[in-house]
Amino acid sequence: MAFPVSIERIREAEADIGARFPETYAKAMMEDNGGVLRKGRQQWWLHPIKDFSDKKRIKRTCNHVLHETNGRREYGGFPENGVEIAGNGGGDALVLCHSDGQFSDELFFFDHEKLQLKKLNIRFGDMKKERG
């Protein structure tokens, strides 16, 4: 089950990445650090923001966005300016990309078989977020 995350943890993640998250994403994660995104029949499980403030949160956030992004980069083809925010359970990922220190809220699809990134015609704020 997901839980809130503080703005301090979000800012720490942003500092580790070197870019600010879009406001829609940061607010959604502050309310519920994780959860599920839905758009039509598509379902994506959001990776939480790293939160090491107590043992329970450490366990619940071990698959945080930075961990998942770094693991994805080991296989190649993943953009240096991207961060994996969600997975579909089949190996594919939803990605946010940044430039000049700011993430856009435009979503990208990373195909794990082709190792290719494709821009989607949807923004994070347009997805329906549910508790995880």
Indicate the domain borders of the chain: 7-127
pLDDT of residue 27: 95
Share of the chain above pLDDT 90, in %: 74
Query: What's the mean pLDDT in 95-112?
Result: 96
The pLDDT value recorded for residue 28 is: 94
Burial 70-107 (b: 16+ CB within 10 A, else e): eebeeeeebeeebbbbbbeeeebbbbbbbeeeebbeeb
Under the banding of pLDDT at 50, 70 and 90, the label for residue 46 is very high
Structure tokens at 56: 């329970």
Q: How confident is the model at residue 2 (pLDDT cuts 50, 70, 90)?
A: low
| Cβ atoms of residues 58 and 3 within 8 Å | no
Q: Which two tokens stand for residue 23?
A: 């406001």
Q: Work out the average pLDDT over 33-59.
A: 88
Q: Which CATH fold would you assign to the domain 7-127?
A: SMI1/KNR4-like (3.40.1580)
What is the rounded distance in angstroms from the CA atom of residue 9 to the CA atom of residue 53? 9
pTM of the entire predicted model: 0.92
Q: Residue written as tokens 């190649």?
A: 76
Is residue 78 over pLDDT 60?
yes
Higher pLDDT, 40 or 47: 47
Q: Is the dihedral of CA 75, 101, 97, 43 positive or negative?
A: positive
* Mean pLDDT of the region 17-38: 94
Instruction: Tell me what the mean pLDDT of segment 64-90 comes to.
Output: 93
